[in-house]
Structure 1
Amino acid sequence: MTATTTTATTATKSVKSLKARMLSSRERSGVALALAAVCLIGGSVAAAGRLRDFPVMGGQAARYALATVFLILWARIRGHTFVRPTPVQALWIVLLAAMGMAGYGVVLLHAVSLTAPGNVGVVIGASPLVIVLVRALLTRTRPSRNLMAGALCVAAGSAVPQLTTGGQVQWSAAGFAWSCLALACGAAITLLGAPPTEQLGALTVTTYACGLAAVMLFVAALITRTVTGTPVLRAPTAVEFAALAFLALGVTTVVFLLWYGAIERLGAGRTGLFNGLTPVASLIALSVTGTATATVHQAAGAALVLFGVVLGLRRA
């Protein structure tokens, strides 16, 4: 009887331990939201390529202005009430609009103009590791071993596809500096968006931040025109208009709602791991459109990133 009881108790503990390690239904929905967001971001590569000749500042401003209109219409349909943020929440949202939205797109484009896109990807691929470390510092907690190991795998996997056939990565000082700034702005989307989202909700935070980003970018475009003579905007072609509409509706409006919905369910640390899948999603989108062909390095990096995400999502 004693042996039987002991065996039954051990089996019960094993089942409970297994259940504790499994994702809950809320967490699984968070994974689905994050994956959907990453897929849309990957599809944005082809759309962004159609806007190479369009004014950068003005184009980004128009993108966020359109996104704000879409978000307000969606809020009206849902009967959503926008809550006035507190001064602290407003500060988070302003920083999010400046760094995570307005700043990220402009900085990324400038970094790519100074060095190879693959080199920029090496740096940005470390964003999950940055998010995990910064969140641990802000919350004064030690991240779990699974989360740290997963973040390291994601960062390494993002770097592998950028290696040349000789195993070397060529850097430029200016390109590396701007890539680090792009890394900071990319990580800011999660780090700065998480605190107000937990209190105000994804729709409210995204709408406020998009509106502020549009204003900031329009002002920057006006200043740029005064200094350099670059036009703020021009009439887009049909292809450019379609690209702007996709970036505004799909990549800005929907992606941010999906991403912050995932943060509400998974937390900033585990959601941040999915940033490492963005190069993979971009590669798939480029392969589907016939723009690029996957290499062995890219396939190996994708596998390592996927392993890192799965490892980081596991509970200790």
Structure 2
Amino acid sequence: MMSDIRGSGVRGSGVRGLRDFDPRERSGGALALGAVCLIGGSVAAAPHLHGYPLIGGQAVRYGLATVFLLLWARIRRHTFVRPSPGQWAWVFLLAATGMAGYGVVLVHATSTASPGTVGVALGAAPLVIVLVRSLLARVRPSRGLVAGALLVACGSAVAQLSMGGGVEWSARGFGWSGLALAGVCAVTLLGAPATQALGPLTATTYACALASGLLFLTAVITGSVTGGPVLRRPSGIESAALVFLALGVTTVVFLMWYGAVERLGAGRTGLFNGLVPTASLLALSVTGTATATPGQITGSVLVLTGVLLGLRGGIRRGAAER
């Protein structure tokens, strides 16, 4: 798997200043931040698809993303690597959980639990990623990285709970929220070994193609049981939303995110997940559909502080992730 040590740039002991990050690390941070901004912008497009078939629409999204990736590969004259059986397993798991599964699970989570419950669960993603990566690498993470991830989780919780949708107890709601959290973490944890072995473009293209196929199959099976439509002709605004989600929030986001994983490692890249609510709030503020509250601003500041602390902390020397 990807090495956080290679990306962390630890030079001896101690915490480093931001100016000490090398160009590779700075570009990794820029890529992760750009991906987060695009994800946040998706909140402006998603409402236009509320009346479109959910699973079939997600299948179209990933199908279009596959086409865009193939076109980009053609422009770049990219040669696709043929995965080994083990590498196919990583790609399949990424497609099934981090792509196809996450989108469907998130909808079910938001329909069975309060927004605060789902938001708090997703806000824990950076901490889960750091701990799981360290466990798999059999290395103790640095205090700075853990403290940063914990601060991100706390800041995200403050921002979410300040929106008025508190945490409500429901076994079903917590279960779906937990599955949504697993899907978010899978994007980074399963994507790291796949991109290390195949490269971001190859791994993303294969995973998007598989995700599209899995979603179409699921839509057909679900439609045969419920009698609901698998697909329908989208309206103009729905077509624009699907293209935006496929190109901006899938094709570009995954390439940028896995480019960041290559440069920063899975643990530090995962910290940027905490900035998604802030980016979403900014997008809603720009469109005039939401206004930031003091609690959201406080939570966003805590998240940003946690990201910076975690990036500077890195992890201990000798943590080779395989």
TM bucket normalised to smaller: over 0.9
Provide the rounded CA distance (Å) in 2 between the counterparts of 1:276 and 1:74.
Answer: 29
Preserved contact between residue 125 and residue 158 of structure 1 (Cα < 8 Å)? yes
SS in 2 for 1:80: coil
Q: TM-score, normalised by structure 1?
A: 0.92
Q: Which residue of 2 aligns with 1:195?
A: 193
Q: Do the aligned partners of 1:21 and 1:315 also contact (CA within 8 Å) in 2?
A: no
Q: Which residue number in structure 2 is paired with residue 23 of structure 1?
A: 21
Deviates more, 1:159-168 or 1:284-293: 159-168
**Deviation readout 1:95-122 (Å, 9 max, x if unpaired):** 0000000001000011111122232111
Aligned partner of 1:76 in structure 2 is 74
Q: C-alpha separation between the residues in 1 aligned to 2:244 and 2:166?
A: 36
Instruction: From the CA coordinates, give the structure whose radius of gyration is larger.
Output: 1
Q: How many residue pairs end up in the alignment? A: 303
Tell me how far apart the structure 2 counterparts of residues 19 and 38 of structure 1 sit (CA, whole Å). Answer: 23
* Counterpart amino acid of residue 127 in structure 2: L
Residue 251 and residue 259 in structure 1: after superposition, are their counterparts in 2 closer, same or farther (change >3 A)?
Answer: same
Quote the residue 2:105 is aligned against: 107
Trace 1:1-316 onto structure 2 (pairs within 5 A). 22-164=20-162, 169-315=167-313
Letter paired with 1:141: V
What are the superposed Cα offsets for residues 125-164 of structure 1, whole Å, 9 maximum, x if unpaired? 0000110011011111111111100000011111002225
Contact 2:65-2:208 at 8 Å conserved across structures: yes
Q: Which runs of 4+ in 1 moved over 4 A?
A: 16-21, 164-168
Report the TM-score, using the length of structure 2 for normalisation. 0.90
State which drifts further: 102-111 or 165-174: 165-174
Q: Secondary structure at the match of 2:187?
A: helix
CA shift for structure 1 position 173:
2.1
C-alpha RMSD over aligned residues: 2.0
The answer for unaligned runs of 5 or more in structure 2 is 1-10, 315-322
* Contact 1:221/1:232 (8 A) holds in 2: yes
Q: How far is 1:293 from its partner?
A: 1.1
TM-fit CA distance, 1:171: 3.2
Amino acid at match of 1:311: L
- The gaps in structure 1 that reach 5 residues or longer are 1-12
Partners of 2:109 and 2:88 in 1: CA distance: 29
Q: What's the CA shift string for 1:253-299, capped at 9, x where partnerless?
A: 00000000000000000000000000110011011111111111110
Deviation at 1:167, TM superposition (A): 10
